[in-house]
Structure 1
Amino acid sequence: MKTFLLGLALIAAPAAAQMQGMAMPAPACTAPVIVPGFEGWGKGAPTPQLKLGATSSLVLAPAEAVKFSPPLNRAPQPGQRGGVYGITLDKPGSYRFALSEGAWLDVINGKGERMPSAAHMHGPACSGIAKIVDYQLDGGVYVVQFSGTMAPKIQVMLIGG
């Protein structure tokens, strides 16, 4: 019996060693994960413009056709897409952007300055959110630039204030 078990272990060891470097498939989602603050993610009719508290479905164009101002810190790669959208915030506060796709997000103030992000993280599996980025922003008009993605559309939700 010991010889049989030793034989099985020797046969299985190379296969186990080969699998260590392999990525495991994503878990099957049986129920959506709700991210606190983003309970409205994907609910209701998406808006075609960036809107506080609602899911927005934004169209992205080939990056070379988008006028980013200020220019991007990184050159777009072939096939990447982007878009520029505006938002007016009524009051200062902590704002969070949830994105359905991995993408670069730049928030530009009225002086044309990039605002630093306060934090960023991946969205949890099965949430539909790929990335969450936090900003401390004053009230006023902002330009939000999306870049570095291959997706023709991006779902975005902005919360906070």
Structure 2
Amino acid sequence: MMVSGAKRTLDNLFLLHASISCIIGATLFIFPHFAELFLIHQDNETVIGLTDHTAGDAQKITHLVLRLYGALVLGQGHLVLMARDVADAPMRKVIVRVYAITFGLTAVALLRAQTTEGGSLNGYNWINIVVFAWLSAFYAWFVLVQPIAIFESLDKVSL
């Protein structure tokens, strides 16, 4: 039984995406300070609520938002992991389209934050921008270029 290379690539993308999302989501939920690496401004040593451990309420609010975001990332990681078992090709294509759009918008938001006056997050934020743009492009490639048969689960054979 031959499985299309593109089907295998999509399945592997889902697995990689799910694994990284679960790890990052759990890390942000448990250790919100992890985000400091990406959020600290270039010209400042601190962002209120992150590295300033005397920030009190501001720090608690920042950690709450980061933990909520971590919970969402962890949950969507589980969702995409379970999508690998979905046999319905149109549904899998919807999932891929949603990720193409979501990651594209995320890259735009991060780019805007990086390049807008007063934004200037540190250089590590460029890693996020590139990763989200790449993920968006890769998911968009499946949606825009590949036929619907590619979205069938791996256990289906297209003749």
Question: What's the TM-score, normalizing by structure 2?
Answer: 0.24
Pick the structure with more helix per residue. Answer: 2
Larger radius of gyration: 1
Q: Which has the higher strand share?
A: 1
